[in-house]
Structure 1
Amino acid sequence: MDPGTAALIGAGAVGAVVAAPVALGAAGFTSAGIVAGSLAAKMMSVAAVANGGGVAAGGVVAALQGAGAAGLSGAATVVVAGAGGAVGWLTSFFG
């Protein structure tokens, strides 16, 4: 692997891990809870309607709120870094 591709993969992985908490907060998943009127609130509403009034534990909304409140778990960090690294690798084909 050439150094340029390796640098893009590394930058994508690190960038995704750094950007994930910012993106979660911007979407309304915060340590204080879901922000009213946000994308997170809309997602929670849709999930509650789909589940008969409650948000399912372990569902997407619950997982995103958990990450927004407590940060990414080790496993989530690996997944986000892997996705970011894949995007970095894909960008190496366009440079």
Structure 2
Amino acid sequence: MTEAVVAIGVGAGAGAFAAVGVPFVLGAIGFTSAGIAAGSYAASMMSTAAVANGGAVAAGSLVASLQAIGAAGLSGAATVAVSGVGAAVGWLTSFVRRK
């Protein structure tokens, strides 16, 4: 039982770290609060998406979603979801380790 509690805690901590770290990583690859940085990996993704959609980036696409997160960060609900997934993975890991 103690291993499961530790695994859940580690998973939740990793999820919370990911929720905080995701906007920083997105900023580093070019999804910034000021828009997509010229010459970045994000600009390359945007160009590819625009070519595939006839010159525009579709609303709700991966590029649009990443830019929204890069500009505003994750919402409270998304932070909770990421932390919950981390806790679930930690809990599942405790079962794998027992075998």
TM bracket, shorter-chain basis: 0.7 to 0.9
Q: Would you tell me which structure has more helix in proportion to its own residues?
A: 2
Unaligned stretches of 5+ in structure 2?
Answer: none
Please, which of 13, 20, 23 is the counterpart of residue 22 of structure 2?
A: 20
1-structure distance, mates of 2:41, 2:80: 25
Q: Structure 1-normalised TM-score?
A: 0.80
- CA RMSD for the aligned pairs? 2.1
What secondary structure, in the 3-state scheme, does the structure 2 residue paired with 1:55 have? coil
Greater CA drift, 17-26 or 70-79 = 70-79
Structure 1 residue aligned with 2:70: 68
Unaligned stretches of 5+ in structure 1?
Answer: none
Q: Structure 2-normalised TM-score?
A: 0.77
Instruction: Please tell me whether Structure 1 or Structure 2 has the larger radius of gyration of its CA atoms.
Output: 2
What secondary structure, in the 3-state scheme, does the structure 2 residue paired with 1:57 have? coil
Aligned residues: 94
Residues 35-50 of structure 1: pairs in structure 2 closer than 5 A: 35-50=37-52
Percent identity between the two aligned chains? 62
Structure 2 residue aligned with 1:9: 11
2-structure distance, mates of 1:83, 1:28: 26
